[in-house]
Amino acid sequence: MKYRTIIAAAAGLAFFGAMSSGAEASKDNKNIPTSIGKSFTGKPGNAANGRKVMISRKKGNCLACHVITKMKKQADQGNVGPSLDGVAGRLSVAQLRARLANPKGSNPDTIMPAFLKKNGLHRVMKKFKGKSILSRQEVEDVIAYLMTLKGK
């Protein structure tokens, strides 16, 4: 290989490396999408299961940070994040999908966990290392439930 060809090949590799780390990149938040149109599973989400995932402390634990009036009877609700009442009217399915997979796309400094991101997490419990908090289908299920939150 000529010198120039080698340089070009190396540049190409670096480029593809950057692309494939895409949503999972930890440093460059510009690569993290704020909207993902395509379903992670191709299967419709199950809102009833999504509701369970959101309440579960071991799964979504969304109520630790969010108020959802419809879930008033479940556990204590935190107000670290905004109320999710009426969120279906504010965000689209595609925006919710990106937000749950990795909210650093919309806010690099957010404390909301990335539910699908596997790498680049800091302060992860050992048993969660290398694993995402929710499965792809669980994320779709949570989105299905969030889409029912149209008003109070």
Site string for ligand HEC, 124-143 (x = CB under 6 A): ------------------x-
The window from 5-13, 39-47, 102-110, 117-125 that contacts ligand HEC (CB under 6 A) reads 102-110
- The single-letter DSSP state of residue 30 is G
CB of 44 to ligand HEC, least distance (A): 17
11: amino acid identity, one letter:
A
In this structure, are residues 86 and 151 in contact, taking their beta carbons and an 8 Å threshold? Answer: yes
Encoded tokens for 101: 């997979």
In this structure, are residues 42 and 116 in contact, taking their beta carbons and an 8 Å threshold? Answer: no
* Residue of 20, 74, 92, 107 interacting with ligand HEC (CB under 6 A): 107
Three-state DSSP class for residue 108: coil
Residues binding ligand HEC (CB under 6 A): 54, 60-62, 64-66, 80-82, 84, 87, 90-91, 96, 99, 103, 106-107, 110-113, 115, 142, 146
